[in-house]
Amino acid sequence: MSVLTKSESKSIDFLRKLGLKQVNHGTSTGLNTEGGRKSIKSHSPVDGAFIGSVTVTNREQYEAVIVKASEAFKVWRNVPAPKRGEIVRQYGEELRKHKDALGRLVSYEMGKSLQEGWGEVQEMIDICDFAVGLSRQLYGLTMHSERASHRMYEQWHPLGIVGIISAFNFPVAVWSWNAALAWVCGNVTVWKASEKTPLCSVACQNILQKVLKANDIPEGVSCIINGDYKVGEYMTKDERVALVSATGSTRMGKIVNATVAARLGKTILELGGNNAIIITPSADLEVVVPATVFGAVGTAGQRCTSTRRLIIHESLYENVKTRLAKAYTQLKIGNPLDTNNHVGPLIDHLAVENYLSAIEKVKAAGGNFVVEGGVLEGFESGCYVKPCIAEVQNEWDIVQHETFAPILYLMKYATIDEAIALQNGVPQGLSSAIMTDSVREAEQFLSVAGSDCGIANVNIGTSGAEIGGAFGGEKETGGGRESGSDAWKAYMRRQTNTINYGRQLPLAQGIKFDL
C-alpha cells in the first residue's frame, strides 16, 4: 500500500526518506493500521496529485491515545528537565538531517515555496535549540516570609496532557513551538494537525519516535490524532487535556475558547490577523517595497502575519502604488518546489473561491484594483491565483475581515495619529509595522497609545517572527503567546511553597490561635 502514485515520481525520494511508505497511518504513533475506517486523502495543491492518506481517529482510538499519553506523563514528568531537554536536542539533530526532505514535503503538501518550506523546518530546529536551554532555566522565585524560621518560594510543575490543534499554513513549525516547550516543561502532547496537511504530522512523528525509542522514552510522550473539527472536539471537551493550544480562524478559536473555558481548562489561542504597515514620509522605499511584497504574497498570502493593509502617507501614495505595481509584474508564480518561483498555489479550491469572493466584494464596495487578480490557467490543481492590489476604505466590511489570500489593500492617511487609528481599526491584533526614519513616529507607534497588536515592528514587515520572542496577538487574535520569552509559563502550573523549619507555629498577619 504505497503512498506514492505513478504521477508523483518526482516526490518519491523525499517521501521515502521521511518514512511515508504506507497509505494509512495510525493515530497514536504513526504506525500502519487496517480496518476500513474513514480516511483523509491528501492531494497536493502544487499539481493536484494524490500523495497519501491517513485514517480518521474514532472515539475508541482517541480514548486509547489519551490513556497512552496519560501513562507516558507519569514517567516523563519524573525525568529531570535537563534530561528532557536532551531528548529535544536529539530531535533537533534529526530534523537537521531531514531538513531537505521535510521542507520539500511541507512545500509539496501545503504549497508554499521551497525556501519557505526549508525555513519552516529551520524554525523547528531553532525552537528545539531554544527549548534545550530553557530546560535548565525553568526558574521560580524565592520570597522573604514575614514569619521567623520560614522560607517561601515558588516552583513550576507540568500540566499533564497538552492538546495542539494546528493549521495548514504552517503544518509543522507552529506545532513544534508548542511541543518543544511542552516537552521540556514535563508535559506530553496530543497533536491534531490540519486535515489539509496530515502527512506532515506523520513525518514529524516518524522522526520523533525514533528518538524516543532510542532513549527508552514512552512513545505516548508525543501522539497524533487525525480528522476534522469533530476529532478536535474530543480534546476540547476532555477534562484530561489540561491545555489546548489552537491555531486557526477566529471563528474556530471562539468555539474552542468557550468549550475549554466551560470546563475551566486552559487555552492558548493564535487566531486571525489583519496586519498593516504604515508608510511615513521619511520611509526608505528601498526597504518598503520588498518588505511589503514578501509580506503580502509570501505563502500566497496564507500567513496569519501576512500584510493585508498598507497605510500610506498621502505625499508618497502615488509613488508607492506605482512601485508596488511594477514589483508585482516581476513575481514568478508556479511550482513552489522550483526555487526560481516566488509564489505557489492556494491550499485548495475552497481557498480559491474565498479569494474570488473577496475580489467581488471589493469591487461591489467601490474598490479600484491597481493590480488585477484572477485564477491562473494552465495548472492542473486549479489553485494558482494572481496576487492583486486594491485601493479601499478601511471601514469596509471586506477589509475588516481576514481573507487568507494574496490581496493587498491600499489606503491613505494625513497624520500619524490617523495612521495609527487606521492600523488599530480592525477586530484583529496580531502583527503591525511602521516604516519611518523618525524616532518620534517610531516611539509613538510603539507606545501605549500606539499599535494595539501583539507584534509591532519598525522598518521591517509584518511577517517573519523569530522564535526568541513570544509570538501572539490581541483582540480577536486570541491573546495567546507561543515560542520564546517566557511563553513557557503557559505550559506549567505555578505552586507557592512555605517551609517552617522552626519549632513554633506563628500564623500569618500576626493572628493568634492558642489552645
Closest CA to 138 of 164, 115, 157, 119: 157
Q: Note if 453 is an active site residue.
A: no
HSE-CB at 273 with a 13 A cutoff on CA atoms is: 30
Instruction: Give the CA dihedral 54, 60, 66, 72, nearest 10 degrees.
Output: -90
Q: Note if 204 is an active site residue.
A: no
Euclidean distance between CA atoms 351 and 227, whole angstroms: 19
> Catalytic residue among 304, 383, 388, 453, which?
304
Residue 134 burial (C-beta neighbours within 10 Å; 0-12, 13-18, 19+): buried
Q: Are strands 470-471 and 482-483 parallel, antiparallel or unpaired?
A: antiparallel
DSSP single-letter state for residue 316: T
Q: What share of the chain is helix, strand, coil (3-state, %, to 5)?
A: 40, 20, 40
Kindly write down the DSSP assignment for every residue of 47-107, as one continuous string. Answer: T--EEEEEEPP-HHHHHHHHHHHHHHHHHHTTS-HHHHHHHHHHHHHHHHHTHHHHHHHHH
Instruction: Give the CA dihedral 77, 80, 83, 84, nearest 10 degrees.
Output: 30
> Catalytic residue among 116, 270, 402, 476, which?
270
Catalytic center residues:
270, 304
